Chains A and B, each alone.
Chain A
C-alpha cells in the first residue's frame, strides 16, 4: 500500500477544508487535502452563493453579523475574482412585520454592518421587478461568491506550495495509537486503491459529516444537526441586487443573483442523514410562493434546477432537534486534546460559507500550536491565485473575452459562454472523466438548456482527448443526464418543461443514448 507523510491531513474538501489547506500551505506546512467526492460538492457547493453582509444576523445573532461583515471585507480583497459586488437590499414587503425595520437598522449599527436606508422609489428604479408594495429598503454590502472557483483557487494555490489535493478519496479508517491520532487510510474512488497518510495533525473539516468522521477516530458526542434546505435556480437574473426580506430569518426570504441566473432560498428542515438530498415537492411550491412575494410574476419565470444543501449546525444546549435555524450559526472548533484527551486531531464544523476563512484561521492557529512552532496566519492579505489584481468579477466578463475572438474561438456551452480550449484545459488539468466535475469548475451546462446541447459536445471532446475510452465517455454522458434529471424533475413546468422535452428528443430520440452499448447487456450486430 502506498503511504504519504505530511504535517497536516485535512479531511473534507469544502470551503473550510480547502481554506485550512490554503492557510496551512501559506504557513509553510506540508498538507494533504482529501474529500470522498469532488471539492465543494457537499454543503459548500449546495448553497445560494451569498457572501453575507451580516445584515441577516444583525438582530438575531449579533456575533455572527460581526464575523460576516469582517470576513466580507477581507474576502473582497483576497478572493476578488470569485466575488461579484452585487450589493443587497433588505426590503419590508406587505407580508413583513413593519416594526422589524427599526430593529434591523439598530442591529446593523451595533454590529458594524454598513447599512443605508433608501427611498423605496429609488430601490424600484434599481430593481423594477421588486414588489411595488415595499415600504422600507436598506442597502447593505452583500455580494455573491462562486464557491467552486474559490475552493479550486485555494486548492491550486496550496498545490503550488507543495500540497497534495485528493478529491474522490474517502476516509476508510482513522489511525489512532493510544491517545494520538496519527493519520488516516484513504480509498480512491476510481481505482479502489488504498493509501495510508501519516499526519502529525489530522483536521476533521467534514462539516455536516463531522460527527461521523469523529466517530471513526473513536470520539463520541460530536453532534452536528444537519439542517436541510432547498434552493431553486431561475433562468434569469430577475434581480441584479441580492434581495432579502426585512424580517427575522425564515424560509424563502432571499434571492441571490449569481452569474447568469438567480437563486431563491431556502427552507430549513432537520434531517438525520446529511446525505439526504431529496426535494419535497411541497417545499418547491412554498419557494415559488415566497418568490412571488418578493418579485411578482416569479412563477412565470423558468426554474432551471432545484437542489438541497445541508447546514452543519453544531449542537447547542438551547436548541431543539426540530428548529435548526435557532441554533447559532457560529462555528465550533474542537481541540480534541482539550476536549477528549486525544492529541493530533482537531474538528472544525458549524459556521457558514462567508466565514470559512476565519474558521480555517482558527483551526490552523490551534494546529500550529500542536505542531510546536506557532507560525502566523497569512490568509487575511494573501490573494488567491487569479485574484491578484483585486478586481471583482463582473457579469459581462465572459462575453467581453469572447467578443475579442468571436471568429477564432469555438463555444461549447452557449448559455455560460464556455470556449472549447477552456473545456479541454479543465479536463486535462483535473484529469477527470466526470462531466459534473467539469460543470462545477466551468459552469458548463448550468444555463437554461441544462446541457441539452453542450453535454454531447463535451462527451465527444472528452473522448477525443487522449486516454478516455468510449465506455467512459458514454458513462460520463449517461451519469450526467441521470444526475441532471434529479435536479430538474421536481421543478418541470412552463417553458422549462418545453426545454426538457426538447432535451428528451435530442438525447433519447436523435442520439438514442438509451441504446448505447453501456445500456445494452450484449452487443447487437444485425
Chain B
C-alpha cells in the first residue's frame, strides 16, 4: 500500500533545527510537514542557546567576537548565516518561549554577553541565552552558592559540583536534600514530575530551608518541573527567600523536553504537521531537484512530495551521517555529498582525547546559501552542516536556530508563499 502527500515544504528531522524550520515555515504560511525517525537532540542537551562559547578561548561577548570568528572560519555555518540572522533567530525563539505552552517560562539574555553557568561537574560553561530557571547561576554575580542534590538522583553529584566551583573562585558548598520516594533510582524526569506538584514542592522547600545559610543562592539539578517550570522555580524562590538556579546534567534533559514542547507547539499552532516514527527510507529525484521522499511505518509506505526540503537530520550522532566499518562515510537520508572528510591516508581520529579530531567537522556539502550540493531545492540545517565542532565551540543551538530559520526564510522568499504571517 502506498499513498502520496503534497506539501509546500518537507522538513526531515525533529531536533531544534528541524522544529524551528518547520514552525517558521508554517508561520510564514507554508503547508509544512516535519518527518522524523524519532525525537531529536533536544532531550539530550541542556537547552541553553549556546551561540559561541569558545573560540578557542572563552568568549565573553558572542556578538563582539563573531565577526572576527566568521572571518577566520569561512567554512563555518555562521559564515553563511551572519551575525544578524543569529540574533534574529534568537529573538524569535525567545518570543515563542514566552507565548508558548509553559506559562510564564522565559529565556533570558542576548548575544552581547555570555552567561557563565555551572555544569554538573562544577565547570563553568558559557552560554548566550538561557532559561530563566538557570540564569541565577551566572558566575558573574554569584557570590555564594549552595548546591543541592539528592542521593536518589545518581545523575547529579552536588559535592563534586560545589568543590569545583569553589576551586574556580565561586564559593560553594553542598547539601543533600531529604527526599523520600518509593524507588532508590530517580532520573531527572521522574524528579521533575514531583516538582510540578505544588504540595510536594512546598514540603521539599520546607525541609531544605532549614539547611540553608543566609546569603547563598541555591543550585539544583535541572529538574524543576516539566509542565510548569516557571511555577515551580518561582515558587521555590519565594518559599526559600532567595535566588534559585538549575544546573543541567546527564540526559534525559528536562529543560530540553520543555524546549521540545515549546517548538512543537509553535509548529502546531501555525498549522504544521509533525510525524514521528517516520524514517525516510528512499527519495526520488528529478535531475538536480529532489521531488519526494518516502517513509515506512506501520506496514505502510507514504510518499511526501514538495518543491522544497529541509534536511535537519543531524550528523554522526543521529546516524544520518555514517562512517562504516570499511571507513567510508555516507549521508544516509538522501545520499548527498559530504564535506570536511580527512583526505585519503590522513588519520580519522587522533590518539589524544581532547585534540581537534579530524572527523569532527564532517557535514553535508552546501553552497553559500546552505543548499545541498547537487540538490538545489534541499536546504541543510543544524548538525548536518559541515565546518563546526559544536560541542567544543559551544555553538550547537546557535547553528540549529539560525540555520533552521534561514532555511525557512529562503524557502518562503523563493516559493512566494504568503510571508510575514507571524513576524
Chains A and B come from one and the same complex: yes
Chain A residues within CB distance 8 Å of chain B: 288, 299-300, 303, 407-412, 420, 453, 456-457, 459-461, 463-464, 469-471, 473-474, 477, 481-482, 484-486, 489-490, 492-495, 497-498, 501-502, 504-506, 508-517, 519-520, 523-526
The residue in chain A whose Cβ has the minimal distance to the Cβ of B390 is A509
0/1 interface trace, chain B 109-133, chain A, CB 8 Å (1 if under): 0000000100111111100000000
**Which residue of the partner chain B has the closest CB to A284?**
B325
B242 lies within 8 A of chain A by Cβ = no
With A493-B323, A493-B327, A502-B44 in contact, is A457–B157 under 8 Å at CB? yes
Within the complex, the shortest CB–CB distance from B340 to chain A, in Å, comes to 14
- Distance A495 CA – B322 CA, assembled complex (angstroms): 8
- When the two chains form their complex, are residues A460 and B157 in contact, meaning their CB atoms are under 8 A apart? yes
Q: Which of B130-162 contact A (CB under 8 A)?
A: 139-140, 151-152, 154-157, 159-160
B342 at the interface (CB under 8 A from A): no
Residues on B with beta carbons closer than 8 Å to the beta carbon of A481: 353
**A505 and B58 contacting across the interface, CB-CB below 8 Å:** no
List 19 extra interface pairs beyond A470-B160, A481-B353, A511-B121, CB under 8 A.
Answer: A407-B182, A456-B155, A459-B121, A470-B163, A470-B164, A470-B166, A485-B353, A493-B323, A497-B323, A505-B317, A508-B391, A510-B119, A510-B249, A512-B121, A513-B123, A519-B354, A520-B168, A524-B58, A525-B168
The complex places the Cα of A486 from the Cα of B139 at a distance, in Å, of: 35
Looking at the assembled complex, report how far the CB atom of B169 sits from the nearest CB atom of chain A, in whole angstroms.
3
Q: Is residue B351 contacting chain A, with contact meaning CB distance below 8 A?
A: yes
Contacts of B120 in A (CB 8 A): 456, 510-511
Contact B123 A463 (CB under 8 A): no
* 28 A–B contacts, CB within 8 A, in A order: A407-B184, A410-B152, A420-B154, A453-B250, A456-B250, A457-B157, A460-B159, A470-B167, A482-B353, A482-B354, A485-B351, A492-B323, A497-B316, A501-B316, A508-B391, A509-B46, A509-B391, A510-B45, A510-B119, A511-B120, A513-B123, A514-B354, A517-B164, A517-B167, A519-B354, A524-B169, A525-B139, A525-B168
B237 to chain A, nearest CB (A): 23
Q: How far is the CA of A288 from the CA of B125 in the complex (A)?
A: 40
Closest residue of chain B to A301 (Cβ to Cβ) is B325
**CB atoms of A515 and B160 under 8 A apart:** no
Once the chains are docked, how many angstroms separate the CA of A489 from the CA of B354? 12
Q: Are A498 and B317 interface neighbours, CB within 8 A?
A: yes
Contact A516 B323, beta carbon cutoff 8 Å: no
Check if B2 is an interface residue, CB within 8 A of chain A: no
Contact assessment for B325 and A493 in the assembled complex, using a CB-CB cutoff below 8 Å:
yes
Q: Is B409 an interface residue (CB 8 A)?
A: no
Say yes or no: B391 contacts A504, CB within 8 Å.
yes
Q: A412-B154, A420-B154, A485-B353 are in contact. Are A515 and B248 (CB under 8 A)?
A: no
CA distance A524 to B354 in the complex (A): 20
Q: How far is the CA of A505 from the CA of B317 in the complex (A)?
A: 9
A1–B151 Cα distance when bound, in Å, is 43
- Cα distance, A481 to B65, chains bound together (Å): 31
Q: Is B315 an interface residue (CB 8 A)?
A: yes
- On whether A457 and B323 interact (CB within 8 A), knowing A407-B183, A470-B163, A489-B349, the answer reads no
Q: How far is the CA of A509 from the CA of B395 in the complex (A)?
A: 10
Distance in angstroms between the alpha carbons of A497 and B352 in the assembled complex: 16
